[in-house]
Structure 1
């Protein structure tokens, strides 16, 4: 079991990383940090235009930042009321993204997302499962 405050803080930090990372992604795609990722994409999609790939990944950054903002807000509300419904909302938000994004990526041979999404999903689900005891059935 994990303390409710530690679980909340852990998830808020992950949400903030998504916000900051999403805001920086349009810039980061032009740095050497992104080279291995784009090399992988170029291998998977050899006929693609590298600049088009950079644009598509860069424009995805604000979506990631927006998801982080919404998740940060949902964390605050969920940890305030601590109902099972709130717990399931947070778990579902993480699973919808991870399962669909990963399945679509694997179907298109972008296996880098399997590892990236899998690691991030564990980071989201671990505090939720360790703090599940604190989320109780709603009483009338």
Structure 2
């Protein structure tokens, strides 16, 4: 069983990775590390311009960083008050992103997001499910 403090640190670490990754994304799109991903996108969007794809993914980086900052804050608040509503907020934030992003990606033949999002979603949900019993109904 995972302790509540480990679950919190795990989730905060994931949020920090989102912040750092989002801040680095505008730079990373111009490195060889991104080549396989852009080849996958180019195959899905055959009429696309590679520079446009780099711009769109790069400009998405600050959004990812911002989400990471907000999630880091939400984790702190949720683990402080530990209500069921807080737990559902964290679960819902992860599910809204993962389900909609993945469905939209698959509808546009970007199957890499199925694996990437699925893996990251599991990393978010595992500590939340292990910590669920620590989040209780709010008492007045």
TM-score range, shorter chain: over 0.9
Cα distance in 2, alignment partners of residues 44 and 78 from structure 1: 39
Q: Partners in 2 of 1:112 and 1:43 — Cα distance?
A: 12
Please tell me whether residue 23 in structure 1 is matched to residue 23 in structure 2.
Answer: yes
Q: Matches of 1:43 and 1:104 in 2, distance apart?
A: 16
Please tell me whether residue 126 in structure 1 is matched to residue 88 in structure 2: no
Structure 2 runs not aligned, ≥5 long:
none
Instruction: Report the equivalent of 2:92.
Output: 92
Per-residue deviation, residues 41-65 of structure 1 (Å, max 9, x unmatched): 0011111000000000000000000
- Aligned equivalent of 1:51: 51
What is residue 9 of structure 1 aligned with on the other side?
A: 9
Counterparts of 1:79 and 1:17, CA distance in 2: 19
Structure 1 portions without partners, runs of 5+ = none
Deviations 1:77-111 (A, max 9, x none): 00000000000000000000000000000000000
1:79 equivalent in structure 2: 79
What is the rounded CA distance, in whole Å, between the counterparts of 1:59 and 1:17 in structure 2? 17
Distance 1:95 1:132 in 2: 16
Distance 1:72 1:104 in 2: 25
Q: Is the partner of 1:131 in helix, strand or coil? A: helix
C-alpha distance in structure 2 between counterparts of 1:65 and 1:45, whole Å: 26
Q: Under a length normalisation based on structure 2, what TM-score does the superposition of the two structures give?
A: 0.99
Identify the residue that residue 70 of structure 2 maps to in structure 1: 70
Per the TM alignment, residue 14 of structure 1 is displaced from its structure 2 partner at its CA by: 0.1
Listed one character per residue, the Cα deviations across residues 13-64 of structure 1 (whole Å, up to 9, x for unaligned) are: 0000000000000000011110000000001111100000000000000000
Cα deviation for residue 2 of structure 1 reads 1.6
> 1:61: which partner in 2?
61
Over the aligned positions, Cα root-mean-square deviation in angstroms equals 0.4
